[in-house]
Amino acid sequence: MSLQRLVVQNLRNLTSVDIQPSSDVNLIYGQNGSGKTSILEAIHVLSLGRSFRGPKIKALINERQPDMTVFGRVADVSGEIPLGVSRSRDGDSAFKAHGQLVSSLAELAALLPLQVINSDAFLLLEGSPSVRRQFLDWLVFHVEPSFFAAWKASQRCLKQRNSILRRDRIEGSELHVWERELIAISEQISQMRAKAFAAFSEVFHQLIDEFVMADGLTLSLYRGWDKDKAYPEVLVDTFERDSRLGYTGAGIHRADIRIRIKGHAAADVLSRGQQKLLVCAMKITQGVVFAKLTGRQCIYMVDDLPAELDEHHRQLLVDWLDRLNTQVFVTGVEQAALLAPWLNKPERDIKLFHVEHGKIIGQE
């Protein structure tokens, strides 16, 4: 899997960009504010309809333009797939694959799987459970075809149950209808997550020692309620609390990956440098497991690599990316610092892109 062409119009300061990336390694360098990170954002928009910096679309559109478009061609085992995304300030949007409009961004995400390593990735340790839950669900989404429909159904059930809980008078029959569906879907999603987490955990523990020495490091999956209770029992036990607060307090929407060192939260024990390496290990593990379970490769985007890792650990991360044998996009300020970790890999097809003021002024 690789992105063969990327065309961007009016995304931040990228007024008109048309590049043909290497299917191997792409190094993008330029001064801060030049637009190099915006190229990664454009690829992310092509996959998920939004930037990895946040959901606000208006901030992505060039301030002097009413809309933005991103077009790309993805090469996969099935052939070449054209993708396109258009977003406007007034809220209009269009998403296309194979030249046809698609009804859901999930279709684009399935066609262009991405992993992003940037400063926000470290929220995997320091952020809320929702960050880690989304991290796991990325893998579940790509390896379990029924997951997305089940997840949407679970959101509908939770919304309906919460609405009923907020009423002055609760009709038991109506509540039970939604609870029955919620219980069935929750058990289905919980099983899919547990299966994906088991595969992830096995690979993670095989490679973690190469990234960071942390004795007593453990990962565990919290499904969102007491492991010793069935979900129907939990809903009964927490009904009074849920009614008082007006929302469902336990369930798959509270799932989390707990990352600990000898019983303590890893973020409280590890140094900042160790945290960075641990997050990198988790991201690399995602790609390994994804390839193992699907037979496909995901694309990696690493934003400002030299700023996040020292020279030794940059080399370590590059070595792991090299083993994955997948397409990579890496940004940085200085060409030499970006290129150095790849110099001992002459077999890789490396393209250099120099960005200035939103324009690609060199492709090598």
pTM: 0.92
Tokens read off for 54: 């946040």
How confident is the prediction for the chain on average, in pLDDT?
Answer: 91
Per-residue confidence band for 212, with pLDDT thresholds at 50, 70 and 90: low
What is the tens place of the pLDDT at every residue in 34-93? 999 999 999 999 999 999 988 888 889 998 899 999 999 999 877 899 999 999 999 899
- Of all residues in the chain, the percent with pLDDT exceeding 90 is 70
Between the two ends of the chain, the Cα-to-Cα distance in Å is 22
Q: Is the predicted pLDDT of residue 214 greater than 80, yes or no?
A: no
Q: Which amino acid is located at 273 in the chain?
A: G
Count CB-CB contacts under 10 A for residue 178.
18
Residue that the structure tokens 């929302």 belong to: 247
- Which helix (H) or strand (E) segment holds residue 342: the answer is none
Give residue 17's pLDDT.
Answer: 94
> Class assignment of domain 121-295?
mainly alpha
CATH number belonging to the domain at 1-113+299-364, selected among 3.30.930.10, 3.30.420.40, 3.40.710.10, 3.40.50.300: 3.40.50.300
The C-alpha angle with vertex 297 and arms to 291 and 300, in degrees rounded to 5, equals 120
- Domain boundaries in the chain? 1-113+299-364, 121-295
